Chain A
Amino acid sequence: MDTQSLTGGFADAPVEAARAFRAALQAMARPGRIEAIAGATPPAPLSPAAGTLLLTLADAETPVHLAPSHDRPALRDWLTFHTGAPLVGPGEAVFAVGAWAALQPLDAYRIGVPDYPDRSATLIVEMEGLSALRARLTGPGIKDVAALSLPDIAAFQRNALLFPLGLDFYFTAGDRLAALPRTTKVEAD
């Protein structure tokens, strides 16, 4: 473990986590809306947005899966030091983080059970950028229609069919984040 693992956390955890959570809450409540989120400076390749989200939500109670794109010693050390989250395989993960291709296959993650659909994984998908292009989104949280540059269409359509089970997604790029819960209907634009 080098000293880089010990830095890059929240300077004022209660307040920075509160602001970061508000961005995460707004994003999940309004699918497709792109929010600014900042506070953490994690080691590469983790984006500041994904790092901040993990510091806000992950702790010793939430196993995290690092997809191959992000499974680096520096990142393992950083996450372990700042959150205490156990690092696990996809089948036990509450949160999984990585590039879209590295997170596949999606059926490796927990989608909840009929009695407890909340016991499902949240995937944090690292993106090159986020924009209101490509996919048309409708459903709860969206007034008429929203748009977001999703990495795939069919995978999210299959996920929505599982409702009330299914996965929930955050998309992160730099200091921006957007979300796609299992309720959102996705169509190619």
Chain B
Amino acid sequence: MTDLNQYNFAYLDEQTKRMIRRALLKALAIPGYQVPFASREMPMPYGWGTGGVQVSAACLTPEDRFKVIDQGADDTTNAVSIRKFFERTAGVETTERTAEATVIQTRHRIPEEPLGEGQILVYQVPIPEPLRFLEPRETETRKMHALEEYGLMHVKLYEDIARHGKIATSYAYPVKVQGRYVMDPSPIPKFDNPKMEMAAIQLFGAGREQRIYAVPPYTSVVSLDFEDHPFEASKVDQPCALCGAGDTYLDEVIMDDEGGRMFVCSDTDYCATRRAEGHLGALGVPAEDSAA
């Protein structure tokens, strides 16, 4: 079944990979600018990470160790399928450990553990245009980016404050990259925005919308805000119920139909590593017991 000769290395044909690779290099040269590319049909539906998969396919080498997360978790359907896809078509090693991975494809999270220089983070992006819900015409949004005309985005954030008393946008929170392009960081929680100034290369792929963009390492990524309403990387004000971490992004898990709930780390690898080190939250059980 896993005869690699059935597929070209990493699935895509070479001409497609060259086209994606050229787009990736221009994306790195113009941080935050969305480069159009000729997105291909992939053997999975749009919305399941076809953009990220194409970027990963163009980047992977046989020596890479590949990790896939979906909302922080390694063990959800989307993550398992994409991991298996590249195990089969590229023959790469896969891992669930953030520190051991060289290429990490992610849907809607940045791992808690800081990424290093040897790593590449590939984001799956549904709507790459941060101005799209404010201006539906592509010809107009393209002109707005060209003229650096981002007043509309500030009006949107201001209207949040007028209606809710604070900026209510909690995910896909717009950022300005290197003082020039306003960029959609993909639907990561705004808790993750400050992590985008990192040592690793960040690549973004939107398959259905046919756009690629990138943030080079050590590049300024500023979340838009106002002097009197500064950006705040918010999270649930609780520690993780399993590992006790107080500084991680948490998922709410419903326990029963009587309002019982718990909050656990969304980054499963980070949580499991902490539990293996002996950290324990209010509802946690020691690592050796949970494995049994």
Task: State whether these chains interact.
Answer: yes
**A contact set with B: CB distance below 8 Å:** 13-15, 17-19, 21-22, 24-26, 28-30, 56-59, 61-62, 94, 114-118, 120, 122, 139-143, 163-164, 168, 181-183
Binding site for A on B (CB under 8 A): 8-10, 14-15, 17-19, 21-31, 33, 35-36, 58-63, 120, 142-143, 146-147, 178, 180-181, 199, 201, 214-220
- Least Cβ distance of A131 to chain B in Å? 21
Enumerate chain B residues within 8 angstroms of A25, measured Cβ to Cβ: 21, 24-25, 28, 59, 120, 201
- Let me know if A19 and B61 touch, CB within 8 A: yes
Contacts of A59 in B (CB 8 A): 15, 18
Least Cβ–Cβ distance between A9 and chain B, in angstroms: 12
Distance between A178 CB and nearest chain B CB, rounded to angstroms? 14
Residue pairs across A and B with Cβ atoms less than 8 A apart, 20 shown, are A17-B18, A18-B9, A21-B59, A22-B59, A25-B21, A25-B25, A25-B28, A28-B29, A29-B216, A56-B21, A115-B146, A118-B23, A118-B26, A118-B33, A118-B35, A140-B219, A164-B30, A183-B30, A183-B31, A183-B216
The reply to whether B29 and A181 contact each other, CB–CB distance below 8 Å, is yes
16 further interface pairs, Cβ-Cβ under 8 Å (given A18-B60, A141-B28): A21-B59, A24-B25, A29-B201, A29-B214, A29-B216, A29-B217, A56-B18, A57-B21, A114-B146, A118-B30, A140-B215, A141-B218, A164-B180, A181-B28, A181-B29, A183-B29
Q: How far is the CB of B25 from chain A (nearest CB, A)?
A: 5
Interface of B is mostly: mixed
Which 10 A-B pairs have CB atoms at the shortest separation, nearest pair first?
A14-B9, A181-B29, A141-B216, A114-B146, A140-B219, A118-B26, A140-B216, A168-B29, A18-B61, A29-B201
Q: Which residues of B lie under 8 Å from residue A28 when comparing CB positions?
A: 25, 28-29
Q: A28-B29, A62-B22, A118-B33 are in contact. Are A17 and B17 (CB under 8 A)?
A: yes
Which of chain B's residues have a CB closer than 8 A to the CB of A163? Answer: 180
A52 smallest CB distance to B (angstroms)? 13
Question: Chain B residues near A168 (CB, 8 Å)?
Answer: 25-26, 29
Q: How far is the CA of A3 from the CA of B251 in the complex (A)?
A: 63
Residues from chain A with a CB closer than 8 A to the CB of B214 are 29
Q: Closest B-chain residue to A122, C-beta based?
A: B25
* A141 (CB) vs chain B CBs: closest residue: B216
CA distance A117 to B217 in the complex (A): 21
Instruction: Tell which of A56, A114, A141 has the most Cβ of chain B within 10 Å.
Output: A141
* Closest-CB distance, B29 to chain A (whole angstroms): 4
Contacts of A164 in B (CB 8 A): 30, 33, 180-181
Residues of chain A lying within 8 A (CB to CB) of residue B18: 17, 56-59
- B143 to A57, Cβ gap below 8 A? no
How far, in Å, is B57 (CB) from chain A's closest CB?
Answer: 9
